[in-house]
Amino acid sequence: MGIKQLKINVNELTVGMFVSGLDRPWTQSPFPLQGFYIRDIEELKKLKSLCNHVYVDVVKGRAPMAINLKTMGTGSSSQSVHKRPGSRAPLAPQIPVKPIKVNHQHYPPVKALHREVKSAKQLHQKVYIAVGEILQKLDSEQMHDMPIAETRKLASDMVDSVVRNPDALTWLTRVKEADDYTYSHALRASVWAILFGRHIGMAKKDLDILALGVLLKDVGKTQLPRRLLLKSDLNEKEQEEYQSFVELGVNILRNSQGVEPRVISVVRTHCERLDGSGFPKQLVGDKVPLLGKIAGIVTYYDTVVTPRGATVPTAPSRAVSQLYDLKNSQFQEDLVVEFIRAIGLYPTGTLVELNTGEVGVVVEQNFERRLKPLVMVVLDAMKEPLDKHKLFDLAADDRRKQQLIDAGKKTLDEVQKVEIVRDLEPGSYEVDILKIRDDYLLAGEKKGIKGFISRLTSV
C-alpha cells in the first residue's frame, strides 16, 4: 500500500496539493488546523515564508509528480507514490520481466540546439513526405513500389539527428500540422522512440530498427474504412475490426521488399501489453520483445498528448501521470521510469507556470536536471504579456542561489528558488508557442551570423 503523506521541500509545492502538516505548530501559522488545499500562488508564497518543509496528503490532493521523477528507479518509487484518486489502472500482480540495460553515457553530449535545428527541419519535411508517399501508395494498392529503402535511410538520419541533439526534432514534432493524423502521429511517436532509445544507450542499429518500425506501425490502417478510424465509441464488432490493422500491416510489410523481420516485429507487437491485455496475440511479459514494448509506450504517450480530433494537445504532465499509473500492468515499470526521465515532465515546447506567477515556454532541456529546463518567460505574474521576452535558466538560477546558502550568505527563507509550479494546456492565456519557438531559434541564427561577421571584420 502506498504512503498517504509525503514530506517535501516547500519549493516543490504546486497548486492543487493538500497540505496535511507543517514543520511547526499550526498555531504559528494562518492556516486551518485540519489542513488545506493550495489554491493559488499567494498561498504558496505564504507557505514558503513560514516553512522549510511540509507534509502533503497524496490521496486527497495532487500527487507531486516532480518528486516522483527525482526518486524513480531508486528502489523506493513504488513505495513513495500513491496511486492517484480516480485512476482506473488495474491492480495486476507483479509480472516477471528481464530488467532493461541502461547506459546513459553511450552517446556523446548533445550538440547545441541551434546547430542542429536547421538540418532537423529539413529532415522532418523529408520524413513527412516519405511516410505520406507510402500511405498514398497503399491507398492505391501500389504495394510493389513503396519507398521502403528511402524511408529506412530517413529513419536512420532521424536517429543521427536525435543523437546529436534530442531537442531539435522534438521541437518540430510539437507542431500540429494539418496533415493526416495517422502519419503525423507515426512521425511524432518515432521521435519519442528515438529520444527514449538514445537516453537508455540503445545501439544505433537497434535505434534504426525501432525508428522504422514505429514509422510504419500503422500502415494497416490504410486498409480500414475511414469511418472506423474517426469513430470514438466502437462496439465490440467494430473494435475487433479496428484491431485487425496490426495483422493487415504485418501482411503488407511481409509482401514489401527490403523490410527486415525485426521491423515487422515492432509493427506486430506495438499493441501488445505486459499483462496480456493487448492485441492481437495477448502476449504477456517478455513474450513482447523490447522494441515492441518501447513502441507501445511511445504510441500510448503520443496518443494521450495529441488525441485524434483534439483542437489542442494535452498537457504533458497528464500523459506522464496516466502512463505512470499503468506501470507494472500494461507497461514494464523500468521502461516507464526511463521514458519519463528521457522526456522529462516538461518536454520542449511545454507551456509552464513558475512559482513567481510568471508563464513561459520550455525552449531547451537540461539533460542533467530535467526539472530545471531553459524557459522563455512571456507573461508576468499578473499574466500580462511582457514587452520583451526573457530567457531564464532554472538550473543556473538554482546553482547560484544554492551557493549563497552553502556559503552562509543567505538562508533558504531568504532565497526564493524559481521552480515550475505546473504545466499548462497548450493555448492557455493565448500564448503562441510556435511563434516563441521560431523567435528563439531565429535569435540563435542571428547570433551565429553576427558572430561570423564579427570574426570576418576583426581579421
State the total domains in the chain. Answer: 3
Q: Which residue has the cell 514505429?
A: 214
Do 368 and 411 lie in one domain? The reply is yes
Residue ending a domain, choose from 289, 308, 343: 343
CB 79 within 8 A of CB 2: yes
Provide the sign of the torsion angle of the four alpha carbons 407, 410, 413, 414, taken in this order: negative
Do 281 and 314 lie in one domain? The reply is yes
Assigned domain for 27 exists:
yes
Walking along the chain (459 residues) 10 residues at a time, the average pLDDT comes out as 66 76 82 76 80 80 53 39 37 72 70 55 57 53 53 59 47 38 78 86 87 83 84 89 93 79 93 95 95 96 83 75 88 91 82 91 81 91 92 92 87 81 83 80 52 40
Alpha-carbon span 419 to 298, nearest angstrom: 27
Assigned domain for 268 exists:
yes
Alpha-carbon span 450 to 444, nearest angstrom: 10
> Could you tell me the residue range of the domain that residue 391 belongs to?
351-457
Do 37 and 136 lie in one domain? The reply is no
Do 320 and 389 lie in one domain? The reply is no
Do 325 and 373 lie in one domain? The reply is no
Assigned domain for 90 exists:
no
Alpha-carbon span 365 to 112, nearest angstrom: 11
pLDDT, residue 141, reads 53
pLDDT, residue 343, reads 82
Do 355 and 275 lie in one domain? The reply is no
Q: Whats the size of the chain, residue-wise?
A: 459
Secondary structure in 3-state letters for 196-240: HHHHHCCCHHHHHHHHHHHHCCCHHHHHCCHHHHHCCCCCHHHHH
- Enumerate residues 6+ apart whose C-beta is below 8 A from 196: 294, 297, 298, 338, 339, 342, 343
Task: Classify residue 387 as exposed, middle or buried by CB count within 10 Å of its CB (0-12, 13-18, 19+).
Answer: exposed
Element holding 379 (H helix, E strand): strand 374-379
Do 328 and 268 lie in one domain? The reply is yes
CB 340 within 8 A of CB 72: yes
- Enumerate residues 6+ apart whose C-beta is below 8 A from 153: none
Cell of 123: 529532415
Rounded to an integer, what is the distance from CA 246 to the centroid of its chain? Answer: 25
Assigned domain for 14 exists:
yes
CB 159 within 8 A of CB 207: yes
Residue ending a domain, choose from 29, 61, 80: 80
Do 336 and 408 lie in one domain? The reply is no
What 3-state class would DSSP assign to 57?
Answer: strand
Assigned domain for 329 exists:
yes
Do 128 and 246 lie in one domain? The reply is yes
Residue 61 burial (CB count, 10 A): 20
Do 186 and 271 lie in one domain? The reply is yes
Give the model confidence (pLDDT) of 108-164 as tens digits: 665 555 555 555 555 555 555 555 555 555 555 554 555 556 556 655 665 555 455
**In this structure, what CATH number is given to the domain that contains residue 202?**
1.10.3210.10
Assigned domain for 97 exists:
no
pLDDT, residue 29, reads 82
Assigned domain for 88 exists:
no
Rounded to an integer, what is the distance from CA 242 to the centroid of its chain? Answer: 27
Assigned domain for 214 exists:
yes
Do 268 and 416 lie in one domain? The reply is no
Do 307 and 369 lie in one domain? The reply is no
Q: Kindly report the pTM of this predicted structure.
A: 0.64
Q: Which residue has the cell 513503396?
A: 146
Alpha-carbon span 89 to 273, nearest angstrom: 13
CB 303 within 8 A of CB 155: no
Residue ending a domain, choose from 294, 317, 343: 343
pLDDT, residue 134, reads 53
